[in-house]
Structure 1
Amino acid sequence: MKLQVAIDRTDLETAEAMIEEIKESADIIEIGTSLIKDYGLDRSVAYFRKRFPEQCFLADIKTCDEGAYEFRKTYEAGGDIPTVMGFSSVTTIRACADVAREFGKEYMIDLLEVPAERIRVLGEAFPEAVFCIHLPSDRQGEGLAELVRSSVRELSGVRKIAAAGGVTLDTVPLLKECGIEIGIVGSAITKSGNKRETAARFAGAVRM
């Protein structure tokens, strides 16, 4: 299992300092939607790519239209894994998949508020994608276990599944039990008093 750390709703300097602290523990660092909106791809994704050239960066652009254009721009900026929303049209997601294939890169389909039947359809249509089971952050982790279990059932045959939304050290065993490949952690690390130590604890738990 891999650890993805989401950095969002902060300024560029603070984000850079966080990456410096957690980079040894994080397999993937997520450049959050707000950072990209506040600073644009050039000053967020492209900047961090130059600053940390060996790091894997997920760019949470949350594409829902203009898939080919937005994905191409993100890859050109240095992003490794852009995101497209699962409620987007299949045509849009397919355009994203085509650009990902062109660049030889991965992409993530975000399943935020996507119903079970739609999840099943997407899993069958895009089995090569990384699918993110995503509990809304406003839920504060409530219902994560049920959501993960039900969504994994619909994603039979999918190679890579991530989970986000209130992931804690206590929920890591559940994610591993369900076959989740990527655990996405945000404030549990980024708001901790010792980010380096907390990230290391999560890394140890997911890789154990």
Structure 2
Amino acid sequence: MRNEMMHRPVIDPDVLAFLRQDQQPLSGDLKKLEEHAHAVGNPVIPHETVNFFRVLLKVARPQSILEVGTAIGFSALLMAQNTPASTKITTIDRFDIMIKHAQANFKKFKMTDRIQLLQGDAADILPTLQPSYDFIFLDSAKAKYIDFLPYCLNLLSDTGILLIDDVLQGGTVLQPIEEIKHRHKNIHRNLNALFETVFHDDSLVSSLIPVGDGLLMITKK
């Protein structure tokens, strides 16, 4: 479950270190969970993305959130702690080991009443959900982003925000496909198809943000 691309920064290493080490830290049990995840290599969003979320969520104040890719539940807990108590979060994951960790963390943080974990493949679950969500965080299989995009846009409210994580593949997404390792070619093709689709859709407004391994932010025009 390790993301090797997180160790291939797309910005200056000194700037990256500043973003990850000098920005406002988390506190309490969530800080401990973040530190443990980094220590053991669990896939969680990096700290510069954490702080971006904290500000964005305080401004957006979403009432309904959808997350695709729960992992150990860190980002869902972060979103819960930085939104109103009335905000409901639905998160999807298909890996049993991650589901087990996430459920334990949601219980530990007393967030089971606000966070609903749906177990199964997002390709099967997304078509069954009903609009609309104010905030959607897509952080799952990178090769599937282009397939999940239409469902996410359909589920997104007219004023909602869609965030898609890890879209730069350590900068390799910009390289010719001939230079890409065979096991990454499908991801490379589909991420470029995602950019082509989003950047040329006149009904969308998007911004590519170089935090973590690249964060694509999309809203409806």
Scaled by the length of structure 2, what TM-score is found? Answer: 0.35
* Larger relative contact order (CA 8 Å, sep ≥ 6): 1
Scaled by the length of structure 1, what TM-score is found? Answer: 0.36
